[in-house]
Amino acid sequence: MARTYTAFINRADIPLRKKLQAAIKALGFKLTLEDDYVPFASSGYLPCTLDGEDAGLTLRFDASNAINGKDSAITLQWSGDPREEASVVMIAAALAQDSGAVVRGPDGSEKNADELTAAAEKVFAGLV
C-alpha cells in the first residue's frame, strides 16, 4: 500500500510554518513542526515532535494541475512508523481544514477535513 497523502492546493494558499502550526493546534493535535518547514524550499525528511516524542515525514512541494483550480501539490509520505503516519494525516487534515486543500489518500480517493481528522485521531490513539 502506498504511504502517501497528496494535498492539492493553490500556491498562494500554502501556509507558512506559523500558520500551519496554528491550524494543527486548532484541530487539537499534539504535533509540532520543526523550523525546517519552508514551502517550496523544504524537501525530504521533515522532523516533527508528536506528543513529546520524535516523529517526522517526507515532504515534497510540486507544481501540479491534477485538480482543476489548484496549481500546486504537497506530497506527505511516511515510512512504516505509525508516528510518521500520524504526522502525515495530521498535517493533511490541517491543510484541508484551514487552507482549502483537496487531499487524496493512499488509495487515491479524496478525503475531507473531518475524515482526515478522524483518521489522525485513530492513528494517534493506536500509539498510546
Query: From CA 74, how far away is CA 78, in angstroms rounded?
Result: 13
The CATH number assigned to the domain holding 37 equals 3.30.310
How confident is the model at residue 75, as a pLDDT? Answer: 98
The per-residue pLDDT for range 17-70, each reduced to its tens digit, is: 999 999 999 999 999 999 989 999 988 999 999 999 999 999 999 999 888 889
Tell me the pLDDT tens digit for each residue of 56-106. 999 999 999 888 889 999 999 999 899 999 999 999 999 999 999 999 999
In terms of Cβ atoms closer than 10 Å to its own Cβ (0-12, 13-18, 19+), residue 41 is exposed
End-to-end CA distance of the chain: 24
3-state helix, strand, coil split of the chain in percent (to 5) is 35, 30, 35
**Structural domain boundaries enclosing 103:** 4-125
Res. 1 pLDDT band, cuts 50 70 90: low
Asked whether the beta carbons of 107 and 31 are under 8 A apart, the reply is no
In this prediction, residue 2 carries a pLDDT of 76
At residue 80, the pLDDT reads: 87
In the chain, the number of structural domains is 1
